[in-house]
Amino acid sequence: MSKFQYPRLNLNRFERAQKIIASKVITSDIFRSPPRRVAGVDVSFRGELGCAASVVVDILCMEVLDVSYAIGEAPIPYYPGFLGFREVQLSMKSIKRLREWFDILLCNGHGIAHPRFCGLASHIGVVLNIPTVGVALNPLKDFEYEKPSREGEAKPIFYSGRHVGYVIRRGAKYLFISPGNMVSPDSSLEIVKICLGIHTLPEPLHLAHIYSKSYLW
């Protein structure tokens, strides 16, 4: 989809906003350790109608403690590097509707592993002032990393010479993990590892994806 179909869409303004948000990101650990309650948020779309689901999970027993939803129209089409502006409003609405709170939030998108060091997880983390981790199935352009060769093996990801996260092998797929806010790269990896189960995505994110998709159909 070409941006020229949307003449009022100013991606330069979005880039400036991302750089401001990135300047406020904290990449040191400011969360309850070890975390007990981990949340996941994901947005599914049917056309331009989106549904965000937030799920809180007790990671000691993988019990679902709370689920919340938010539905609405996507404010912009999808552009690589600007996922946050498409999904952040619905994501934050669903997060704010949770009755049970959490120690850390996993987002289905990147954190600082981003051309302007501000993916969806960083966007949400800074705006809501909460610890977040980005988990994505696909890398963005110009990531520098070596693909892990063994199940569960992790390799560092660099962007412009900066260590921005890790890639971990899950079967034939890979997870790209990076801090969103208030979490270090090493802790981001360890938290995701703790939350891994039988599915490719960590369980809180897998559940959020299933709930958001099911709510639309």
* HEC profile of 142-175: CCEECCCCCCCCEEEEEECCEEEEEEEEECCEEE
Q: Quickly state the pLDDT bin for 78 (edges 50, 70, 90).
A: confident
- Residue pair 119/135 in contact (Cβ under 8 Å)? The answer is no
DSSP secondary structure letter of residue 109 = B
pTM higher than 0.85 for the full model? yes
Question: Between β-strands 154-159 and 162-170, what pairing exists: parallel, antiparallel or unpaired?
Answer: antiparallel
Residue 145 has pLDDT above 80, yes or no: yes
Q: Quickly state the pLDDT bin for 80 (edges 50, 70, 90).
A: confident
Q: Average pLDDT, stretch 124-137? A: 98
Scanning the chain, the segments in alpha helix (DSSP H) are 11-22, 83-96, 120-128, 185-195, 203-216
Give me the residue label for tokens 């990801």: 157
Could you give the percent of the chain with pLDDT greater than 90? 88
CA-to-CA distance for 38 and 62, rounded, in angstroms?
A: 10
Q: What is the pLDDT of residues 13-35, one digit of tens each?
A: 999 999 999 999 999 999 999 99
Amino acid 9: pLDDT = 73
Give me the residue label for tokens 């963005």: 140
* HEC letters along 29-52: CCCCCCCCEEEEEEEEEECCEEEE
List domains and CATH numbers for the chain.
Answer: 33-216 (3.30.2170.10)
